[in-house]
Structure 1
Amino acid sequence: MLSGGFFLCFCCLDCESLLHNKYVFAGVSIPFFHKDRLHNQEDYLLGCIKGKSFKKTCPKDYPTKHNPTNQNSNICPSYFRWIHEDLKPWKEKGITKDMLEKAKKTANFKLVIVKGKVYVEKYRKSIQTRDFFTLWGILQILRLYPGKLPDLELMFDCEDKPVVPLDKFHGPNAKPPPLFRYCSDQWSLDIVFPDWSFWGWAETNIKPWENTLKDIKEGNKKTNWKDRVPYAYWKGNPYVSPTRQNLLQCNVTLENDWNTLLYIQDWVQESNQGYKKSSLGDQCTHRYKIYIEGWAWSVSEKYILACDSMTLFVRSNYHDFFIRGMVPLQHYWPIRDNSKCTSLKFAVEWGNNHTHKAQEIGEAGSKFIQEDLDMNNVYNYMFHLLNEYAKLLMFKPTIPRGAVEFCPEKLLSCTNGNKRMFMEESMVKVPSDSNPCTIPPPYDPLSLQEFLERKANSTKQVEIWEDEYWQIKEGAIV
Structure 2
Amino acid sequence: GTCPSNYPRAIEEEEPGPRSTCPEYFRWIHEDLRAWAHTGITREAVETAKRTANFRLVIVNGKAYVERYQKSFQTRDVFTLWGILQLLRRYPGKVPDLELMFDCVDWPVVGKSGGYAGPPPLFRYCGDDRTLDIVFPDWSFWGWPEINLKPWEGLQKELREGNTKKRWMEREAYAYWKGNPAVAETRMDLMKCNVSEEHDWNARVFAQDWVKESQQGYKQSDLANQCLHRYKIYIEGSAWSVSQKYIMACDSLTLIVKPHYYDFFTRSLVPVHHYWPIQEHDKCKSIKFAVDWGNSHKHKAQEIGKAASSFIQDELKMDYVYDYMLHLLTQYSKLLTFKPVVPKGAVELCSESMACNAAGLENKFMMESLVKGPSERAPCTIPPPYDPPSLSAVLRRNSNSIKQVELWEKRYWDNQNNSSRLRGIGCYTIYRGD
TM-score per shorter chain, which class?
A: over 0.9
Residues 266-318 of structure 1 show CA distances to partners (whole Å, capped at 9, x for unaligned) of 00000000001100000000000000000000000100011100000000100
1:73 paired residue among 7, 19, 39: 19
2:137 paired residue among 194, 213, 217: 194
Structure 2 CA distance for aligned equivalents of residues 431 and 474 of structure 1: 63
CA contact (8 A) 1:107 1:156 kept: yes
Structure 1 CA distance for aligned equivalents of residues 163 and 184 of structure 2: 30
Residues 11-35 of structure 1 show CA distances to partners (whole Å, capped at 9, x for unaligned) of xxxxxxxxxxxxxxxxxxxxxxxxx
Structure 1 residue 58, shift from structure 2 partner? 1.9
Aligned to 1:122: 68
Residues 358-404 of structure 1 show CA distances to partners (whole Å, capped at 9, x for unaligned) of 00000000100100000100000000000000000000000111434
In the alignment, does 2:113 pair up with 1:167? Answer: yes
> What secondary structure does 2:280 align onto?
coil
Structure 1 CA distance for aligned equivalents of residues 14 and 227 of structure 2: 39
In the alignment, does 2:103 pair up with 1:157? Answer: yes
Structure 1 residue 355, shift from structure 2 partner? 0.3
Q: Please tell me the residue identity of whatever aligns with 2:261.
A: Y
Aligned to 1:83: 29
Alignment size in residue pairs: 418
Structure 2 CA distance for aligned equivalents of residues 68 and 134 of structure 1: 28
Structure 1 residue 200, shift from structure 2 partner? 0.2
Structure 1 CA distance for aligned equivalents of residues 120 and 33 of structure 2: 11
Q: Please tell me the residue identity of whatever aligns with 2:10.
A: K
1:139 paired residue among 62, 65, 85: 85
2:55 paired residue among 99, 106, 109: 109
Runs of 4+ in 1 over 4 A off after TM superposition: none
After superposition, the Cα gap between the structure-2 partners of 1:157 and 1:404, relative to the gap in structure 1 and judged at 3 Å, is closer
In the alignment, does 2:259 pair up with 1:316? Answer: yes
Choose 400-409 or 109-118, whichever is displaced more.
400-409
CA contact (8 A) 1:141 1:379 kept: yes
Aligned to 2:215: 272
Structure 2 CA distance for aligned equivalents of residues 471 and 402 of structure 1: 65
Structure 1 CA distance for aligned equivalents of residues 111 and 349 of structure 2: 35
CA contact (8 A) 1:149 1:383 kept: yes
In the alignment, does 2:261 pair up with 1:327? Answer: no
Structure 1 residue 425, shift from structure 2 partner? 0.4
Structure 1 CA distance for aligned equivalents of residues 372 and 354 of structure 2: 16
In the alignment, does 2:325 pair up with 1:370? Answer: no
Q: 1:21-40 to 2 correspondence within 5 Å?
A: none
Q: Please tell me the residue identity of whatever aligns with 1:242.
A: E
> What secondary structure does 2:20 align onto?
coil
Residues 59-91 of structure 1 show CA distances to partners (whole Å, capped at 9, x for unaligned) of 122211123431331110011000000000000
In the alignment, does 2:389 pair up with 1:454? Answer: no
> What secondary structure does 1:318 align onto?
coil
Q: TM-score scaled by structure 1?
A: 0.86
Structure 1 residue 434, shift from structure 2 partner? 1.7
Structure 2 CA distance for aligned equivalents of residues 307 and 399 of structure 1: 44
Residues 172-199 of structure 1 show CA distances to partners (whole Å, capped at 9, x for unaligned) of x741000000000000000000000000
In the alignment, does 2:43 pair up with 1:62? Answer: no
Structure 1 residue 116, shift from structure 2 partner? 0.5
Aligned to 2:427: none
Please list every run of 5 or more consecutive structure 1 residues that lacks an aligned counterpart in the other structure. Answer: 1-55
Structure 2 CA distance for aligned equivalents of residues 285 and 442 of structure 1: 39
Q: 1:369-408 to 2 correspondence within 5 Å?
A: 369-408=312-351
Structure 1 residue 475, shift from structure 2 partner? 7.2
Structure 1 CA distance for aligned equivalents of residues 241 and 187 of structure 2: 11
Aligned to 1:465: 408
Structure 1 residue 405, shift from structure 2 partner? 3.0
CA contact (8 A) 1:158 1:182 kept: yes
Structure 1 residue 167, shift from structure 2 partner? 1.8
Q: Please tell me the residue identity of whatever aligns with 2:126.
A: C
After superposition, the Cα gap between the structure-2 partners of 1:68 and 1:358, relative to the gap in structure 1 and judged at 3 Å, is farther
Aligned to 1:38: none
2:198 paired residue among 242, 249, 255: 255
Choose 311-320 or 427-436, whichever is displaced more.
427-436
In the alignment, does 2:126 pair up with 1:183? Answer: yes
Identity among equivalent pairs (%): 61
Q: Please tell me the residue identity of whatever aligns with 1:166.
A: K
Structure 2 CA distance for aligned equivalents of residues 60 and 143 of structure 1: 12
CA contact (8 A) 1:68 1:435 kept: no
Please list every run of 5 or more consecutive structure 2 residues that lacks an aligned counterpart in the other structure. Answer: 420-434
2:375 paired residue among 394, 418, 432: 432
Aligned to 1:353: 296
CA contact (8 A) 2:67 2:347 kept: no
Q: Please tell me the residue identity of whatever aligns with 1:203.
A: E
Aligned to 1:229: 172
